[in-house]
Amino acid sequence: MQANIAAAKAALAHLDLEEKDVAIKAASRDFFWYSPVLKDRLDHVTADFVVRPRNEAEVIEVLSTCYAHDVPVTTRGAGTGNYGQAMPLEGGCVLHLRNMDKVREVHPGRVICEPGVLLKDLDAATKEHSAQELRMFSSTWATATIGGFIAGGSGGVGSCTWGALR
pLDDT surpasses 80 at 108: yes
Q: How confident is the model at residue 82, as a pLDDT?
A: 83
For residue 166, how many other CB atoms are within 10 A of its CB?
6
Q: Examine the pLDDT at 107 and tell me if it is beyond 90.
A: yes
pLDDT at 71: 99
Q: What are the chain's domains?
A: 5-96 (3.30.43.10), 103-158 (no CATH)
Across the chain, mean pLDDT equals: 92
Instruction: State phi, psi for 140 to the nearest 5 degrees.
Output: -100, 30
pLDDT of amino acid 166: 65
pLDDT in tens, 4-17: 999 999 999 999 99
Which residue has better confidence, 153 or 96?
Answer: 96
Residue 18 has pLDDT above 90, yes or no: yes
Q: Which residue has the higher pLDDT, 156 or 126?
A: 126
C-alpha–C-alpha distance, residues 79 and 24, integer Å: 13
DSSP letters spanning 5-36: HHHHHHHTTTS-EE--HHHHHHHT--SGGGSH
Mean pLDDT value of segment 27-54: 93
Tell me phi and psi for residue 68, to 5 degrees.
Answer: -65, -30
Task: Give the Cα separation of 30 and 85 in Å (integer).
Answer: 8
The arithmetic mean of pLDDT across residues 124-142, rounded, is: 85
CA gap 34, 36 in Å, rounded? 6
Rounded CA Rg of the chain: 17
